[in-house]
Amino acid sequence: MRVAALSGGVGGARFLSGLVDVLDPGEVAVIGNVGDDVEVLGLHVSPDLDSVLYALAGIADEERGWGRSDETWNALETVAALGGEAWFRLGDRDLGLHLVRTRALRDGTPLSAVTADLAASLRIETRVLPATDDPLRTHLLTPAGRFAFQQWFVARGHRDEVDAVEYEGAGEARAAPGVLEALETADLIVLAPSNPYVSIGPILAVAEIRLALARRRVPAVAVSPLIGGRAVKGPADRMLQRLAGGTSPAHVAARYEGLIDALVLDEVDEAGAAELSVRPIVTRTLMRDVSARRRLADATLEAAGALT
Ligand code: GDP
Ligand code: CA
C-alpha cells in the first residue's frame, strides 16, 4: 500500500517511524513542513524535515525528543562564549547536516534535491519531500506582536497566545517536485499527529497541495495530536482552544474540513466521536515506544482499508 503522509517534526516523525515499520519504507512518501525553517548562524535549518530524517534513519534522540542521538554541544558552547547567536540549540552532529544543506542551497540546489541527497546518504528508503522549494515561513500574531515561528516557539518559549497564524510566501509557493505525484499515486493519504496550525497548516497553505487533497480519489485519514483534549507536547491544545474554540476531536477534524475522511482519536476522547462529521477511529494513540507506534500505524492503515 502506497502512503503519502503530511508531517511536522517530532509528533509526525514518531508516527512515521511506526508507519515504515509496518509497511515497506519505500511505499511511504513524506510531505514535510518547511514553515519552521530558519536561518541560524548563517545556516539553513529545516527542523521538521530533520526530525523526520533523523527518526527514519534511527538516529533521533528519543530522550530529549528532538535532534540527534549521541549529540555533543561544543560548537554551540563556543558560539555562546564568543557572544554569538546561541538561542537556537544546534548540536555538533546536527550542525554537520546544516553545513552540507546550506552549501548545497547556496550552490543553487533546490531544497527538495538537497533533502533527497541527505536521505540517500542516511540510507533512508522513504521519500522525504519538503512541501515546497519556495520560501514559506510561518508567522504568529500575538498580543505581544508578530513573530517569525522560531522567535515565538524557541526564543519566547511559545508563551504568547496566538491570535492568528500567517504563512508568508504561501500564495506564491508551488508544491515541490514529487509532492503532487506522491499524493496522486498514493492508496492512502495520512495527516500525521502534528500541530494542525504550525505543522500541517503550512503544508496545506500551498494551494496545489490543498487542491490535491480536496480532489483525492483515495481515503485521507488524520491522526489527532491531542489526547484527552491536551497536546502530548507543545502548544497545539492552547492554539485550538483560542483559535477554534475547543480541543475536542471535532475541533481537530474541523481544521481539515473537506480534506479527510476519518480521524484517528484516542480512547479517552471516545465521547467526542459522536460529534464528528468524518469517521472516527478510536484507538490508543500515545506513541510511548516502538510497539505503540507500530500499533497506531496498524490501526490507521486497517481503518483506512475499511474506507475504500
Ligand atoms: P514539531 O514540529 O516538532 O512541533 O512536531 P509536530 O507538529 O509533528 O508534533 C507535535 C504534536 O505531536 C503535538 O501537538 C503533540 O501533541 C503530538 N504528539 C507528540 N507525541 C504524541 C503521541 O504520542 N501521540 C499523539 N497522538 N500525539 C503526539
Ligand atoms: Ca515544527
d(CA 122, CA 124): 6
* Average pLDDT score over residue span 82-109: 98
Take atom 2 of ligand 1 and give the residue whose Cα is closest. 9
Residue 143 lies inside a defined structural domain of this protein? no
pLDDT in tens, 53-69: 999 999 999 889 899 99
Q: Which domain holds residue 115?
A: 3-138+170-307
Q: Which grid cell sits at 214?
A: 480536496
Residue 144 lies in a domain: no
Confirm or reject: Cβ of 227 under 6 Å from ligand 1: yes
pLDDT of residue 29: 98
What's the pTM value of the predicted model, to 2 decimals? 0.98
Closest residue CA from atom 4 of ligand 1: 9
Atom of ligand 1 nearest to the CA of 224: 26
Dist. CA 39–CA 98, nearest whole Å: 10
Report the candidate in 95, 154, 105, 93 with the shortest Cα–Cα distance to residue 130.
105
Q: Measuring from atom 12 of ligand 1, which residue has the nearest CA?
A: 11
List, in order, residues 6 or more apart from 157 with CB less than 8 Å away: none
**pLDDT beyond 80 at 28:** yes
What is the pLDDT averaged over residues 253-280?
A: 97
Helices (H), 1-141: 10-22, 47-57, 74-81, 92-106, 111-121
Listed residue (263, 132, 192) closest to 4, CA to CA: 192
Q: Is residue 150 part of a domain?
A: no
8: Cβ contacts below 8 Å, ≥ 6 apart: 32, 33, 36, 48, 51, 192, 194, 195, 198, 199, 200
Q: Is the CB of 285 under 6 A from ligand 1?
A: yes
Looking from the CA of residue 198, the nearest atom of ligand 1 is: 7
**Of ligand 1's atoms, which has the minimum distance to the CA of residue 51?**
3
The cell numbers describing 94, all together, are 546536527
Contact call for residues 29 and 127 (beta carbons, < 8 A): yes
Q: How confident is the model at residue 215 (pLDDT cuts 50, 70, 90)?
A: very high
Pocket test for ligand 1, best of 200, 223, 232 (most atoms within 8 A of CB): 232
Sign of the torsion angle spanned by Cα atoms 227, 261, 238, 130: positive
User: Residue 131 carries which side chain, given as an amino acid letter?
Assistant: A
The average pLDDT across 248-253 equals 98
Alpha carbons 58 and 16: distance in angstroms, whole number: 11
- Cα(44) to centroid(ligand 2), Å: 15
Closest ligand 1 atom to the C-alpha of 7?
A: 8
The answer to whether position 147 is within a domain reads: no
Does residue 146 fall inside a structural domain?
Answer: no
Q: From CA 51, how far away is CA 198, in angstroms rounded?
A: 15
Binding site membership of 299 for ligand 1 (Cβ less than 6 Å)? no
Q: Looking at residues 235-241, what average pLDDT do you find?
A: 98
pLDDT tens track for 182-193: 999 999 999 999
Grid coordinates representing 201 are 497548516
- 145 found inside a domain: no
Q: Mean pLDDT in the chain? A: 97
Mean pLDDT computed over 268-287:
97
Residue 306 has pLDDT above 80, yes or no: no
**Three-state SS at 6:** strand
Q: How confident is the model at residue 122 (pLDDT cuts 50, 70, 90)?
A: very high
In this structure, the residue with its CA closest to atom 26 of ligand 1 is 225
User: What's the pLDDT tens digit per position in 133-178?
Assistant: 999 999 999 999 999 999 999 999 999 999 999 999 999 999 999 9
The CATH number of residue 42's host domain is: 3.40.50.10680
> In a mutational test of the pocket of ligand 1, which residue from 165, 195, 237, 243 has the highest number of ligand atoms less than 8 Å from its CB?
195
Using an 8 Å Cβ cutoff, are 199 and 12 in contact? Answer: yes
What whole-number distance in Å separates Cα of residue 146 and Cα of residue 98? 27
Residue pair 265/240 in contact by the 8 Å Cβ criterion: no
Q: Give me ligand 2 centre to Cα 51, in Å.
A: 9
pLDDT score of 221: 98
List the residue whose alpha carbon is closest to atom 25 of ligand 1. Answer: 225
Sheet holding 262-266, edge to edge: 127-130, 28-32, 3-7, 188-191, 220-223, 262-266, 279-283
Let me know if residue 180 belongs to a domain.
yes
**Residue range 38-45: mean pLDDT, rounded:** 98
In short, whether 296's Cβ falls inside 6 Å of ligand 1 is no
The pLDDT value recorded for residue 198 is 98
Domain count across the chain: 1
Question: pLDDT-derived band of residue 307, with 50, 70 and 90 as boundaries?
Answer: confident
Find, among 158, 155, 222, 165, the residue nearest to 188 by Cα.
222
- pLDDT attached to residue 304: 82
User: In angstroms, rounded to a whole number, what is the distance separating the alpha carbons of residues 55 and 117?
Assistant: 16
Instruction: Determine if ligand 1 sits within 6 Å of the CB of residue 195.
Output: yes
Query: Quick one: which H or E segment has residue 286?
Result: none
